[in-house]
Amino acid sequence: MKVIRSYKGKGEKELQAFIQPGTSHYKLQYDGGGELPAELSGFYTSLSLVDNAVLTYLGQHKELNEADKAKEKYLKKQAKLNGTEE
């Protein structure tokens, strides 16, 4: 199976787009295997649709990671102010 395009997010496994054998549809997989998130599973009819799906997913995932870091920073600050710092 020939990889048409690959995508790499920070701290993410590499996503690979390929043409599903026997069809003209694109599909995604993780390099080395693994289960894809629901929003990336399925078939795509063009590379632009693959690009949009992957970039949207990576953008949302990045926002979630940044939100988690901000929450962790806030909780550490609160613990320090309350004297319950570990």
pTM for this structure? 0.66
Q: Could you list the beta-strand ranges (E) of the chain.
A: 3-7, 15-19, 26-30, 43-44
86 residues of the chain, pLDDT tens digit each: 788 999 987 777 899 999 999 999 999 999 988 899 899 999 999 999 999 999 888 887 766 666 667 777 777 777 777 777 65
Q: Where are the domains of the chain?
A: 3-82
- pLDDT value at residue 67: 65
Among 59, 43, 45, which Cα is nearest to 7's? 59
Q: What is the pLDDT of residue 57?
A: 87
State residue 9's pLDDT score.
75
* CB 4, CB 19: distance < 8 Å: yes
